[in-house]
Amino acid sequence: MNRAFIAALESIYPADRLLTREVELLPYESDALTAFSAVPGAVVLPVNEAEIIDTVRLCHEQAVPFVARGSGTSLSGGSLPIPDGLTIGLNRLNRIKKLDPEQRIAVVEPGVINLAITEAAQPYGLYYAPDPSSQSICTIGGNIAFNSGGAHCLKYGMTSNHVLGMKVVLADGALTQFGGESIEGVGIGPDLIGLFVGSEGLFGIALEITVRLMPQPELYRTVLAAYDDLGRAGDAVSMVVASGLLPGAMEIMDRLAIKAAEASVQAGYPDAEALLIVELEGEAPQVEAEFDQLRGIIDESGAFEVRVANDEEERTRIWKGRKGAFSAVGRLSPDYIVQDGVVPRSRLGEALVEISALKEKYQLEVANVFHAGDGNLHPLILYDGREDGALEKAEALAGEILALCIRLGGSITGEHGIGMEKRDYLPAMFSEEEIDIMQALRLAIDPKEIANRGKMFPGGEAPALAQHGMHPLERAGVISRE
Amino acid sequence: MATAIEKCVHCGFCLAACPTYSLLGEEMDSPRGRIYLMKNVLEERLEAQDAQPYIDRCLGCMACVPACPSGVEYGDLLVSYRGAQEESRRRPPLDALARKLVIEALPYPKRFRLAAQTGAIGRVISDALPAAFASMLNLLPEKLPPRLPLPPVLPAQGERRGVVALLPGCVQQVLAPAINYAAAQVLAANGIEVHSPPDAGCCGSILLHIGAEREAQKIARRNFTVFPRDIDAIITTAAGCGSGINDYELLFKGEPDAESATAFADRVMDFGAYLAELGLLAPAGFKSERRVAYQDACHLLHAQGIQSQPRTLLRQIPNLRLLSIADAGMCCGSAGTYNIDQPDIAAALGRRKVESILAAEPDLVASGNIGCITQLRQQLALLGNPLPVMHIAELLWRAYQGDR
Amino acid sequence: MTVSAPASVAELQALVRDSERIHAIGNGSKTALHSGLNGATHADLTKLSGIIEYQPAEYTVTVRAGTPVRELSAALREQGQYLPCDPLLPESATIGGTVAGNLSGSRRYRYGGVRDFILGAAVVDGLGRAFRVGGKVVKNSAGFDLSKFLVGSLGAYAIMTELTFKVFPDVPRFRSLAFDYERLEDALAAIYFINQNIFELDALDLKPLENSWQLLTRLAGFDETLPQRLERFSAAVMSHTSLLKIAELDDSVTLWDPLADLRGAHLVKVALSPKQVPDFDRRITAAQRRYGVGGNVAWVATENLSQVDDALQACSLTGLCLRGAVESAVIGAPVENVLASRVKQVLDPHGKLV
Ligand SMILES: Cc1cc2nc3c(=O)[nH]c(=O)nc-3n(C[C@H](O)[C@H](O)[C@H](O)COP(=O)(O)OP(=O)(O)OC[C@H]3O[C@@H](n4cnc5c(N)ncnc54)[C@H](O)[C@@H]3O)c2cc1C
Ligand code: SF4
Ligand code: SF4
């Protein structure tokens, strides 16, 4: 990073918010996908909108690539730094600027934590609906970049469906605003919110976001059903769908995922091949009636054990196991890759059979957690990075799973984004012309390709996979692992 | 150490729980960042001394441990890392002096009393002293309270429901002898016989906390043999002692007396947890309503998972209204010797904590740890607020005596 | 004016390539959207019609853009499903026109509007290129989501030929209640009360009566639960708001057609927030109007369009004129946006699509 650029940054940031020493930069070199790492040239920590705008304009002027970073929980390398580029840490812009319970909206800065909005809205009986498993730490800015969703997105949609207005600085420094406080969002004219949300940080940085809040359901009815066969759990989902019920969430976990979750939060899950969680939500009388219907379906679906959460505590426990399942896998295996494919719901069974065949082929363990309601699979591929070639093998298996999703008519990402990880698979989903058009769009907004350079689009210099294998100290016999 | 590092999958779930991250907002001051820095030091990609300031800023509050779905034993990692680094570490002379004072004085009640008394005089000139000393002196009361010795055996009142011994602790004995006194009285009122072996002393945790492993072992050993065999539990009223003793397994790993260490550790129980488990005999309570805020000590909540037990006790006191406070799990900044090492961050966290407590409009505050109590009192004093803060044992004792 | 009705995507591509200015039109149900464009070739899309793929088990349906809404709704109804964004003009509009105009009816209140249910599309852009945007499964976050961008785009960036939507199971049992309030403020206060409560309404509209304001509410659900829910709901609203009277109305399609009572040469849609309603409303008291979706959309019928235009300008709001002959369908505060113009530059650099 050249001296003049740093000097220009110094005129925007005081020393304690401009990080340039190695010890300050290393902790930023990865997001939650540690297979990739790259040391940024500098990290800045703006505290207001003006600083961000100045920084983006400076980057544009001097053609220095930048990446915005919320909490660094991206699972696709979205907030992976650009080697020697600038990382703009937005976590300090964490103010909820306005909360209007009457209109059910909140206006927030991009670094606000997803769950913090719900916490602020709770006293008014409202909440912010999109609930990625990482909601306790991921930021709204990151959610916007990836159109994040969660277990409860079947009914009310993902991030995009809950953003009503935005203020944005585009990659070339242009400032713009669209949408507002109406639930219609943009309303008249093309839906720019829909375009910006999910653009993976390639268009620019969201500075201020208006989100809609939802009334907390009066009643939840959460059912946990245990099956001795994964396919049967999948069939149960189809039965629920066919019945005309619209649950708030339908989630499945397989044996390995259950084991991890159990190790992590002792949710007291039954010992089973597959667990299905179905949750109904809404007005009490309606939910109770739907619940009777659901019970009938579940009883017929061949579950060998059915549990119903009787209070909020039991419900929380059921969900805690599910929500912590990804990171809990860290208890079973030193390394893992999370995949995020989508298949048409009716082909879930087929997909699972093929994944287990792939498991055999590669001799790797795969834990499955998925949003069954919308066919969004999260296979977690377990490997041991200390073994030679293990990462490559895991990556190859991941690739086959993505190919499978496309073959079955689905998508290579439901909510985690393409990022760095899946950029080489983009051509499998889109034609050359479609990719060209997206690229042209990107260039029209960011002629110098400085925003999140190297992500989403295939090609470009690939960063080295992170160095794995034994620690030098381990090799020298100084430390050891049990 | 390596296992803890390997287990970290970099998911960031711990960030939200970490007080230093919430205050400073940078990755290096987060659990994930610190683990990453330690990893890089171990892998020789980074100089230990460069990483040190960030490791030093860690409160050791353990809020990151229950927040981690991957089961990273951050506490073990921190203790081992600090221990390993301490040996090769060179400190600036004044810091080294403060540290020496901690190691030499804090664990020994007599010496600490003496130091504390001179400290009281020292406060007059504290402005002229370096920050590290000043903050330490600020912690000391104007005048030390009189000793409140307990008899070797305090008999149970009424039907005998149990026998325990009290772990006297170190600093607390000098600064707040009333805590152990009240605890013993409450236990006795609950039908429990309370032993106070004269030779029992400091558990060494405070030394472990600052990476002085060898000194910690030395101190800890003395306790292994002084407690009677035939008691139900060894009770501690200091959260830091309880959680530090949990680390004995690590501290004594490979030592000849490792087994005695774990055997001792297994017998130690927190005052509130013990009483809640046994079941409280309802006290007389208060004549009029008292609004009480309970402040979770990190070393109870995060390190030992003690959350509901003290609340259960408080709810059983007639006319006591238990309030809930925002961000209850956030450290108040006291954290062992943190007040002494990182006065600025400690003060900022303390201020936040006091603000969220005051927002609940309590009549008094209860906590299970002397460190928190001192910290809160000090922060309240800065605001000129006379809100009383006391140990939960003291509050219970008041309730037994009938509102005074 | 030349009108051409391509029967295939290839024909549409050729038409775009060969035309200087081209304007897409479905059934022409929103006259104002087409009136000012006499110089352009009109591409009539009604031949690009029909359901391509409907998988009830997937909650997804793919249709050609010229398909009448009526036809799609009937197919969905057969399977107990519906398009929750509730296309406006269910009898006359095409599905492409519904997306291009972003036009939803009152039931949009429950689950969301067009943008919330569109999943993907096939389009022909201003250079005559045919390509897909978005996806076909209920969840997809690969690539830029140009499908949502098409919502409200009025055919000015690309012409849609195929559209994929998410659909939901329907519970076609309804009960409707009307609450009358003396003043607009009281009726809005009732909306705010409902907004912070647990009641899940199917629709919530507001309209002026002679000397009062009427809040129209609708609940949907199982027959056996509706009476109890209605009871609780009306009791809560009665005890928390100062109303004049309450009445149960016969639930009907007309009751919930926001445009049913609106007479006037021009009809305008405005997206606004409930708190903007009072200021806007006092400027257009001469017009007929109804506020839909809990006060988030205004439907205004008027003979005097310039008065509505002035009101919009004064409130910094934008309107879309749907009925009558007008110079430009978009009135009020301008909507020009730098991000939108960058997209235009890529999809239609020669400005053919109008
Ligand atoms: C254990 C675990 C579970 C997860 N579960 C889910 C899940 O259930 N559903 C789901 O969808 N995701 C999930 N994720 C992925 C991740 O949490 C989401 O992608 C999240 O939205 C990222 O938020 P962040 O603040 O960490 O963003 P970061 O990782 O810091 O950044 C992500 C991307 O957003 C961009 N960005 C950040 N701020 C802005 C801004 N203001 N404007 C524009 N671009 C910006 C960055 O440049 C980057 O490309 C999970 C992750 C983990 C580790
Ligand atoms: S929560 Fe655990 S696994 Fe995740 S980053 Fe923190 S320490 Fe690592
Ligand atoms: S122990 Fe406390 S201060 Fe240290 S990293 Fe963990 S949460 Fe942060």
* Residues B95, B130: Cα–Cα separation, whole Å: 9
> Within 13 A of A232's CA, how many CA atoms are on the CB side?
18
Among all residues of chain C, which has the CA nearest to that of A102?
Answer: C192
pLDDT recorded at residue C287: 95
- B166 shares its domain with B186: yes
* Residues A191, A181: Cα–Cα separation, whole Å: 14
> Within 13 A of B134's CA, how many CA atoms are on the CB side?
11
Residues whose CB falls within 8 Å of the CB of residue C161, separated by 6 or more in sequence, listed in order: C9, C12, C45, C48, C64, C65, C121, C122, C123, C124, C130
Residues whose CB falls within 8 Å of the CB of residue A451, separated by 6 or more in sequence, listed in order: A65, A66, A67, A171, A201, A202, A203, A204, A205
Starting from the CA of residue A144, give the closest ligand.
1
Q: Is the pLDDT of residue C190 over 90?
A: yes
- Angstrom CA distances, B196 to B155, B169, B261, B262, C236, stand at 11, 11, 20, 21, 62
* Residues B292, B294: Cα–Cα separation, whole Å: 6
Q: Is the pLDDT of residue C161 over 90?
A: yes
Using one digit for the tens of pLDDT, what is the confidence trace for A99-144? 999 999 999 999 999 999 999 999 999 999 999 989 999 999 999 9
Q: Which of A30, A133, A327, A329 to mutate to test the pocket of ligand 2 (most atoms within 8 A of CB)?
A: A327
Check if B69 contacts A (Cβ < 8 Å).
yes
User: The domain spanning residue B250 has which CATH number?
Assistant: 3.40.50
- Tell me the mean pLDDT in the region A244-268: 89
Cα–chain center distance at A76: 8
* Residues C144, A203: Cα–Cα separation, whole Å: 10
Q: What is the pTM of this model?
A: 0.90
- Tell me the mean pLDDT in the region C304-313: 96
The answer to the question of residue B146 being in a domain is: no
Do C3-169 and C173-249 agree at the fold level? no
A431 token code pair: 């034609």
Complete DSSP assignment for C338-349: HHHHHHHHHH-T
Parallel, antiparallel, or unpaired: how do β-strands A86-89 and A42-44 relate? parallel
Residues of chain A with Cβ-Cβ distance to B67 below 8 Å are 136
- Tell me the mean pLDDT in the region B150-155: 92
Quickly name the fold that domain C266-332 has. Alpha-Beta Plaits (3.30.70)
User: Residue B208's pLDDT band (boundaries 50, 70, 90)?
Assistant: confident
- Tell me the mean pLDDT in the region A425-452: 92
What are residue B82's DSSP bridge partners? none
Closest CA to A429 of A444, A414, A450: A414
CB contact under 8 A, A430 and C132: yes
pLDDT recorded at residue A152: 87
Optimal mutation site among A76, A107, A286, interface C, most CBs of chain C within 10 A = A286
Q: Is the pLDDT of residue A370 over 70?
A: yes
Per-residue burial over A89-127, b if 16 or more Cβ lie within 10 Å, else e, is: bbbbbbebeebbbebbbbbbbbbbbbbbbbebbeebbbb
pLDDT recorded at residue B127: 44
CATH architecture of A219-323: 2-Layer Sandwich (3.30)
CB contact under 8 A, C347 and A437: yes
- B191 shares its domain with B121: no
pLDDT recorded at residue B234: 93
Atom of ligand 3 nearest to the CA of B57: 3
Residues of chain B with Cβ-Cβ distance to A472 below 8 Å are 43-44
Residues of chain A with Cβ-Cβ distance to B32 below 8 Å are 27
Selected from 3.40.50.1820, 1.10.3720.10, 3.30.70.260, 3.30.450.40, the CATH number assigned to the domain covering C173-249 reads 3.30.70.260
Using one digit for the tens of pLDDT, what is the confidence trace for C148-159? 999 999 999 999
Written as one letter, the residue type at B59 is L
Closest CA to A42 of A75, A3, A77, A76: A3
Using one digit for the tens of pLDDT, what is the confidence trace for A277-293? 999 999 999 999 999 99
CA angle B330, B332, B333 (to 5 degrees): 115
Residue whose CA is at the smallest distance from ligand 3 atom 5: B31
Contact B295, B366 (CB under 8 A): yes
Domain boundary assignment for chain C: 3-169, 173-249, 266-332
Closest CA to C298 of C324, C322, C325, C329: C322
Starting from the CA of residue A454, give the closest ligand.
1
Atom of ligand 3 nearest to the CA of B21: 8
* Residues A268, A277: Cα–Cα separation, whole Å: 14
Where helices occur in chain C by DSSP H, the ranges are 9-18, 32-35, 69-78, 95-101, 108-111, 114-117, 146-150, 184-195, 226-240, 277-283, 305-314, 338-347
Contact C65, C9 (CB under 8 A): no
Is A457 near ligand 1, meaning CB less than 6 Å away?
Answer: no
Written as one letter, the residue type at B352 is R
Nearest to B13 among A22, A34, A137 (CB): A137
* Residues C80, C76: Cα–Cα separation, whole Å: 6
User: Residue A417's pLDDT band (boundaries 50, 70, 90)?
Assistant: confident
Residues whose CB falls within 8 Å of the CB of residue A47, separated by 6 or more in sequence, listed in order: A17, A92, A93
Q: Å from B253 to nearest chain A CA? A: 14
Residue whose CA is at the smallest distance from ligand 2 atom 4: B11
User: Residue A25's pLDDT band (boundaries 50, 70, 90)?
Assistant: very high
Q: Give the neighbours of chain A: at least 3 Cβ pairs within 8 Å.
A: B, C
- Return the number of CB contacts < 8 Å for A and B: 113
Q: What is the radius of gyration, based on Cα positions, of chain B?
A: 21
pLDDT recorded at residue C313: 97
Three-class SS state of C210: coil
pLDDT recorded at residue B174: 79
Q: Å from A19 to nearest chain B CA? A: 10
pLDDT recorded at residue A127: 97
A263 token code pair: 């190790």
Check if A409 contacts B (Cβ < 8 Å).
no
Three-class SS state of A185: coil
Closest CA to A451 of A143, A63, A48: A63
Contact B312, B202 (CB under 8 A): no
pLDDT recorded at residue C8: 96
Q: Does residue A366 or residue A417 have the better pLDDT?
A: A366
- Angstrom CA distances, C240 to A306, A448, B36, C151, C233, stand at 41, 57, 55, 38, 11
CB contact under 8 A, A329 and B36: no
Three-class SS state of C53: strand
The answer to the question of residue B395 being in a domain is: yes
Residues whose CB falls within 8 Å of the CB of residue C76, separated by 6 or more in sequence, listed in order: C54, C61, C82, C83, C167, C170
- Tell me the mean pLDDT in the region C237-248: 94
Least confident of A24-33, B138-147, C15-24, C254-263: B138-147
Q: Is the pLDDT of residue B132 over 60?
A: no
Residue whose CA is at the smallest distance from ligand 2 atom 2: B68
- B313 shares its domain with B388: yes
Contact A374, A345 (CB under 8 A): yes
pLDDT recorded at residue A6: 96
pLDDT recorded at residue A475: 43
Q: Which of B6, B7, B14 to mutate to test the pocket of ligand 2 (most atoms within 8 A of CB)?
A: B14
Q: Does residue B339 or residue B386 have the better pLDDT?
A: B386
* Residues B63, C117: Cα–Cα separation, whole Å: 41
Q: Is the pLDDT of residue A1 over 80?
A: yes
Sheet holding C3-4, edge to edge: C3-4, C41-44, C22-25
Three-class SS state of A480: coil
* Residues A170, A178: Cα–Cα separation, whole Å: 13
Residues of chain A with Cβ-Cβ distance to B13 below 8 Å are 134, 136-137, 324, 327
- B244 shares its domain with B347: no
Q: Is the pLDDT of residue C345 over 90?
A: yes
The answer to the question of residue B145 being in a domain is: no
Sign of torsion over alpha carbons B388, B393, B398, B399: positive
Contact A418, A456 (CB under 8 A): yes
A432 token code pair: 């050359």
User: Residue B110's pLDDT band (boundaries 50, 70, 90)?
Assistant: confident
Using one digit for the tens of pLDDT, what is the confidence trace for B229-238? 889 999 999 8
What are residue A381's DSSP bridge partners? A337, A366
The ipTM, to two decimals, is 0.96
Where helices occur in B57-151 by DSSP H, the ranges are 64-67, 74-88, 93-105, 109-122, 131-138
Beta strands in C56-191 (DSSP E): 60-64, 81-82, 118-125, 130-134, 158-166, 168-169, 174-181
Nearest to A190 among C157, C171, C320 (CB): C157
Q: Is the pLDDT of residue A464 over 50?
A: no
- B236 shares its domain with B208: yes
Q: Give the neighbours of chain B: at least 3 Cβ pairs within 8 Å.
A: A
Residues whose CB falls within 8 Å of the CB of residue B110, separated by 6 or more in sequence, listed in order: none
Beta strands in B149-295 (DSSP E): 153-154, 162-166, 192-195, 233-236, 268-270, 290-295
CB contact under 8 A, B26 and A45: yes
Is A282 near ligand 1, meaning CB less than 6 Å away?
Answer: no
- B286 shares its domain with B267: no
SS3 content of chain A, % helix, strand, coil (to 5): 40, 20, 40
Check if A24 contacts B (Cβ < 8 Å).
yes
Check if B35 contacts A (Cβ < 8 Å).
no
* Residues A204, C93: Cα–Cα separation, whole Å: 37
Interval between CA B59 and ligand 3 midpoint (Å): 6
Contact A77, A36 (CB under 8 A): yes
What are residue C87's DSSP bridge partners? C104
Where helices occur in B8-71 by DSSP H, the ranges are 19-24, 31-42, 48-56, 64-67
* Residues A324, C214: Cα–Cα separation, whole Å: 48
Check if B87 contacts A (Cβ < 8 Å).
no
Check if C144 contacts A (Cβ < 8 Å).
yes
Using one digit for the tens of pLDDT, what is the confidence trace for B28-61? 999 999 999 999 999 999 999 999 999 989 988 8
The domain of B237 spans 153-277
Structural domain tally of chain B?
4
Written as one letter, the residue type at C297 is V
- Tell me the mean pLDDT in the region C52-81: 95
The answer to the question of residue B391 being in a domain is: yes
- B104 shares its domain with B198: no
pLDDT recorded at residue B335: 66
Residue corresponding to tokens 């268009």: A203
What are residue A81's DSSP bridge partners? none
CB contact under 8 A, B69 and A482: no
- Tell me the mean pLDDT in the region B339-346: 79
Interval between CA A317 and ligand 2 midpoint (Å): 20
pLDDT recorded at residue B14: 95
Cα–chain center distance at C201: 18
Least confident of A323-327, A330-334, A458-462, B256-260: A458-462
Ligand 3 pocket list (CB less than 6 A): B 17-20, 31, 34, 58-64, 74
Starting from the CA of residue B24, give the closest ligand.
3
pLDDT recorded at residue A276: 96
Is A132 near ligand 1, meaning CB less than 6 Å away?
Answer: yes
Q: Which of B5, B7, B8, B20 to mutate to test the pocket of ligand 2 (most atoms within 8 A of CB)?
A: B8
Q: Is the pLDDT of residue B131 over 70?
A: no
- B235 shares its domain with B319: no
Nearest to A411 among C115, C135, C340 (CB): C135
Using one digit for the tens of pLDDT, what is the confidence trace for A144-195? 999 999 888 889 999 999 999 999 999 999 999 999 999 999 989 999 999 9
Nearest to C340 among A192, A199, A346 (CB): A192
Interval between CA B12 and ligand 2 midpoint (Å): 5
Among all residues of chain A, which has the CA nearest to that of C140?
Answer: A414
The answer to the question of residue B144 being in a domain is: no
pLDDT recorded at residue B403: 63
Nearest to A440 among C152, C200, C346 (CB): C346
Q: Is domain A1-216+421-482 classified as CATH 3.30.465.10?
A: yes
Mean pLDDT over all residues of chain A?
Answer: 90
Closest CA to A396 of A339, A434, A319: A339
* Residues B115, B110: Cα–Cα separation, whole Å: 9
- As annotated, the residues of chain A forming the CATH 3.30.70.2190 domain(s) are 219-323
Q: Which secondary structure element, helix H or strand E, spans residue B346, and what is its range? A: helix B343-359
Beta strands in B219-331 (DSSP E): 233-236, 268-270, 290-295, 320-323
Interval between CA B206 and ligand 2 midpoint (Å): 26
What class does CATH assign to C3-169? Answer: alpha beta
Q: What is the radius of gyration, based on Cα positions, of chain C?
A: 21
Q: Which of B78, B109, B138 delimits the end of a domain?
A: B138
Mean pLDDT over all residues of chain C?
Answer: 94
Beta strands in B151-246 (DSSP E): 153-154, 162-166, 192-195, 233-236
CB contact under 8 A, B11 and A73: yes
Using one digit for the tens of pLDDT, what is the confidence trace for A299-314? 999 999 999 998 888 8
